[in-house]
Amino acid sequence: MKAMLARAWGEPATLEYADAPVPRPNAGEVVIEVRAIGCNYPDILIVRGKYQHRPELPFSPGFEVAGIVRGVGAGVTEVGLGERVFATMAWGGYAEVVAVDQRHVYALPDFMTFEEGAVFGLAYQTAWCGLVHRAALRRGETLLVHAAAGGTGLAAVQLGRALGAKVIATAGSTAKLEIARANGADVCIDYRTEAWVERVRRETHGEGAHVIFDPVGGDVFDGSTRCIAFEGRLLLIGFTGGRIAEAATNRVLLKNFSVVGVHWGLYRQRDATTVRRWMVELLKLADARQLKPVLWRSFPLQGAPQALAAIASRESYGKVVLIP
């Protein structure tokens, strides 16, 4: 089979389209013939050697796939041969065939394409983990979503709307703001041309946002601490802005707000049963058409460097897909 391999730490342009051994299932594992692969910003970090995990070289990046079950190991009960499925992975998804622990494999609903299934796991799980599990977002509260036209940002916008929140979205262009608006944002702010902190204060009548979903960090985090509500919850999703911010703890004290980490991968590793329960709820909302992945573009598997370059340069919106 073919896979995209990282043989040394570096930029995605160094990934090699090469032959790799076809995996065989160990006990409890499912072998999937991959039909679509989701691309994510952490794929860039793991290739650079800057992610939370550093796999042994060589390895394939890739945290999510969808395809057809072609093999099962002893004790597999969650899915069967020939079934359409999607799955989340620790890494290794940029390949034509993958083996995944059955705890992280899910039946792909009939209403989802392989492309939609391949991008459903990571973004919507992160949004649920942050908004529901960590922040307990309540109906009628105000949710501020940064980088709202990205894959995870749009998932948070859609889920926030489904949960009954007023959603304020920030993004860096008119086109991206229109995408956020089409997916449920009530207020859209161009952070490049507007004083977004002041705008959030005005839109909330001086109260501030109750929950802030921040995948950017850096200056965006700093600004968020100035427009968060009393007893607000500031969710740290990631640091795509490049700088890891430090909290001004006097602001934390003055407003009694919480700075809350959202490392979804740790839940996947430590508590797969809870993650499966979250997925059940997410799929109910998807079946009700309240959640639907937004696909920007698909690339062939060997086009992974170009796909990741589009994410890194912020050219893309929503999700980017690879097709083996």
> Do 100 and 135 lie in a common domain?
no
Nearest to 267 by CA among 119, 130, 106, 87: 130
Residues of the chain by 3-state class (helix, strand, coil), percent to 5: 35, 30, 40
> Do 300 and 248 lie in a common domain?
no
Which of 221, 243, 264 delimits the end of a domain? 264
Structural domain including 107 reads: 2-120+293-323
DSSP string, 235-297: EE---TTS------HHHHHHHT-EEEE--HHHHHHH-HHHHHHHHHHHHHHHHTTS--PPEEE
> Do 127 and 157 lie in a common domain?
yes
Is the full-model pTM beyond 0.85? yes
Amino acid identity for residue 190 in this structure: D
Structure tokens at 129: 């983990």
> Do 150 and 113 lie in a common domain?
no
C-alpha of 286 from chain center: 16
Tell me if 287 is assigned to some domain: no
Tell me if 271 is assigned to some domain: no
> Do 17 and 112 lie in a common domain?
yes
> Do 194 and 222 lie in a common domain?
yes
What's the confidence (pLDDT) of residue 252?
Answer: 87
Measure the CA–CA gap between 319 and 217, rounded to whole angstroms: 20
> Do 209 and 140 lie in a common domain?
yes
Taking CA atoms, 296 is separated from 32, 153, 205, in Å, by 24, 14, 35
Assess contact for 169 and 191: CB atoms under 8 A: no
Measure the CA–CA gap between 75 and 90, rounded to whole angstroms: 21
> Do 167 and 245 lie in a common domain?
yes
> Do 102 and 10 lie in a common domain?
yes
What's the confidence (pLDDT) of residue 245?
Answer: 79
Element spanning 153, H or E: helix 151-162
> Do 107 and 135 lie in a common domain?
no
* Half-sphere exposure of residue 244: CA atoms within 13 angstroms, side-chain side: 1
- How would you write the pLDDT of the chain (324 residues) with one tens digit per residue? 999 999 999 999 999 999 999 999 999 999 999 999 999 999 999 999 999 889 999 999 999 999 999 999 999 999 999 999 999 999 999 999 999 999 999 999 999 999 999 999 999 999 999 999 999 999 999 999 999 999 999 999 999 999 999 999 999 999 999 999 999 999 999 999 999 999 999 999 999 999 999 999 999 999 999 999 999 999 999 888 778 878 888 888 889 999 999 999 999 999 999 999 999 999 999 999 999 999 999 999 999 999 999 999 999 999 999 999
Residue length of the chain: 324
Taking CA atoms, 78 is separated from 22, 85, 111, 116, 268, in Å, by 22, 10, 20, 20, 16
- Residue 215 sits in a domain whose CATH number is 3.40.50.720
Tell me if 195 is assigned to some domain: yes
Taking CA atoms, 54 is separated from 61, 81, 174, 184, 262, in Å, by 11, 32, 37, 37, 20
Number of domains in the chain: 2
